[in-house]
Structure 1
């Protein structure tokens, strides 16, 4: 068996441990994933695998050990590796949620086509039929909650987005877990706290399902823009300001696809 290359990367501060499993076997259990994530200080662990109908298959685990279908910033990071490796302008990456396309953008940035947002209550999924523009989730006293009615959408993984006046006024590590496994979300949910600054700018912090509060969340940024634009709070293209950096999200009217553009950094690489 040949040596396996490993990268520590980040996309706007969202940290990843990436294993090249195209020529080697990588079949970690949940305990091993948690160990890798702790040792490499990674929000997600990912393996690049062979795919007969794409440039690669990307398998994704959250730092808590469970396998998930989507990670937008992680897909951008791997797209960067594959673009550099092939000397190409575009690559196709399959995940268990979708086939995503990555391409080079100006200024050394990388864009990933995240596909169409999923807005049906059963697609997110919710436990019961409900208006996805504001679901019945309340934090605080039942008669006077200080957070309520998050908008929900799936970007290959579920997201609940609260629109707030000041994102820094909330104890996200305390609130996040209450919403993450609320009974309305049978598969759990990511939880976004979005402050609309103007029609082209959103300040966002995200409690990620299975990872906690992270410096950035690509699918969370996509979800926040979609929910904001759908509610008429912003235009269909905006800058998302996250703790680790900025992402540009565009929800195209031409084909309903969400495009995510942002930076990628390779912090280190080694072989095992």
Structure 2
């Protein structure tokens, strides 16, 4: 008898449809320029009334099986939007540690994940986190924990992604169906504290978060607790609806982007 591990064996750990995690997270909601928020959204997602961006940096302990826990840092940003009456965020950036969590999220849910180096430091009430790719630390958050805001009620929030296979022969097209997917994230936080701090974006041609600037911070909090993450397919969409946005999930330092005219002259 010889062993062949390129085929899954009967003794492999069973995997559930969702993941149970424990997290320490900085969560933020900020306003950007409305013209930028609208330009970021592919069809059929509809822009929210206000040009809001969701941001979270999480230190996550992923309980893959009862015997296996994987710890990672993860940065997520999404443009707040609506799909058929269900508000959520269109995820345009996800960066985290670990090849397996990146590839599984891209292939399974259509998440635009990228491999990154992250740091998360909590010393007493001081918290600092960073995200680095290609040697560039393009995201930082740092601050001090404030007042305890009490245990939040459990809630569920939704994030939208697109799942597809780029064409093997024709750039800009797809082989087979492209799906709009929805991530369903159930939150059960046992701690919520205000966070007196600042978020800073730094120039990176690989991850241009500076192109979606913070115009007004709406909320900034620190939370700890449990999350359960799962997802679902919503519908198929024409490939041309998502094709111009597919660059977000690749490293494309040569991408010139598009020009956006801002109504607010001060922001131009």
Shared fold (TM-score greater than 0.5)? Answer: no
Normalising TM by the smaller chain, what interval?
Answer: under 0.3
TM-score by length of 1: 0.27
- Higher Cα radius of gyration: 2
Judging by fraction of residues, say which structure has more strand.
Answer: 2
TM-score by length of 2: 0.27
